[in-house]
Amino acid sequence: MTRRRLGPWFRFAVMVLRPLLRALTRRDWRGAENLPRSGGVVAVTNHISYFDPLAFAHFLYDNGRTPRFLAKSALFDIFFVGRLLRGAGQIPVFRESVTAGSAYAAAVDAVRRGECVAIYPEATVTRDPGLWPMVGKTGAARVALATRAPVIPITQWGAQDVLAPYSKKVRLLPRKTMHFVAGPPVDLSEFYDRPVTTPLLREATSRIISALTTQLEQMRGESAPTERFDSRRAGLPTTGDPNRPARRGQA
């Protein structure tokens, strides 16, 4: 397997966070054979907690891939956190701004260089009452169609037990289990060589979300709602804590 060369900041994060995650969480990891060990790849997952990026990164790193996350730009403004993210080569997303396209360009470039780009298709922590995947944004599909790299759906469950959605109360003990299942690549080949229109991107995105939802149903032993939750239809801001007024840059 090949890894992107770790800079000092990423190496620092690995040295500090990985031992903590191993000590403070249990792991139920499956399907790692579906994650390519080399070459460009788009790794997508469902978003259930502010804690789950750490668990997701842990899964990817321990299975041979150094992730580059698309992360909200507001995180890069936080003292030390921003420096760590920049130093580790993570990609800021400037939502609803004239520079929003820079994240897409950076992600495409990274995938073409053979890196693993980690994307949350929902773009924010789910607002679905049952924590099922919501209607997705088109970023992951756009990167996948531009690069034709495999899209690996990686379903997760358990991070919400450490930190509930939009909560600030961390519950590390007793140790919680981080469940992850990496599925086979989402087949988007029928969308290749077709004009990249909004309807096409939405259809490709729906296929990605469907793969995550199906895997989550199997993981939880439950059925997802027949209609996918849509923040706009529900009258909620598309990002940020739905229980308070939205502010630009929230996740």
Mean pLDDT calculated for residue range 100-121: 92
Among 105, 137, 101, 145, CA closest to 119: 137
pLDDT score for 100: 60
Q: Higher-confidence residue: 88 or 188? A: 188
Residue 98 has pLDDT above 70, yes or no: no
Residue 89 has pLDDT above 80, yes or no: no
pLDDT tens-digit map of 41-66: 999 999 999 999 999 999 999 999 99
Alpha-carbon separation of residue 151 from 39, 78, 135, 157, 173 (angstroms) = 12, 31, 17, 19, 34
pLDDT grade, residue 93 (50/70/90)?
A: confident
pLDDT score for 248: 46
pLDDT score for 99: 54
Total-model pTM: 0.90
When the pLDDT of each residue in the chain is averaged and rounded to a whole number, the result is 90
Residue 95 has pLDDT above 70, yes or no: no
pLDDT score for 11: 87
For residue 247, give the amino acid letter. R
pLDDT grade, residue 96 (50/70/90)?
A: low
Mean pLDDT calculated for residue range 9-38: 94
Residue 247 has pLDDT above 70, yes or no: no
Q: Higher-confidence residue: 237 or 209? A: 209
pLDDT score for 31: 98
pLDDT score for 67: 94
pLDDT score for 242: 81
User: How many residues are recorded in the chain?
Assistant: 251
Among 111, 190, 187, 191, CA closest to 143: 111
Residue 249 has pLDDT above 50, yes or no: no
For domain 25-164+174-220, give the fold. Answer: Glycerol-3-phosphate (1)-acyltransferase (3.40.1130)
- Contact yes or no for 178/27 (Cβ under 8 A): yes
SS (H, E, C) the chain: CCCCCCCHHHHHHHHHHHHHHHHHEEEEEECHHHCCCCCCEEEEECCCCCCHHHHHHHHHHHCCCCEEEEEEHHHHHCCCHHHHHHHCCCEEECCCCCCCHHHHHHHHHHHHCCCEEEECCCCCCCCCCCCCCCCCCCHHHHHHHHHCCCEEEEEEECHHHHECCCCCCECCCCCEEEEEEECCCCCCHHHCCCCCCHHHHHHHHHHHHHHHHHHHHHHHCCCCCCCCCCCCCCCCCCCCCCCCCCCCCCC
Please report, for the chain, the start and end positions of each structural domain, with discontinuous segments joined by +.
25-164+174-220
Q: How far apart are CA 66 and CA 46, in angstroms?
A: 19
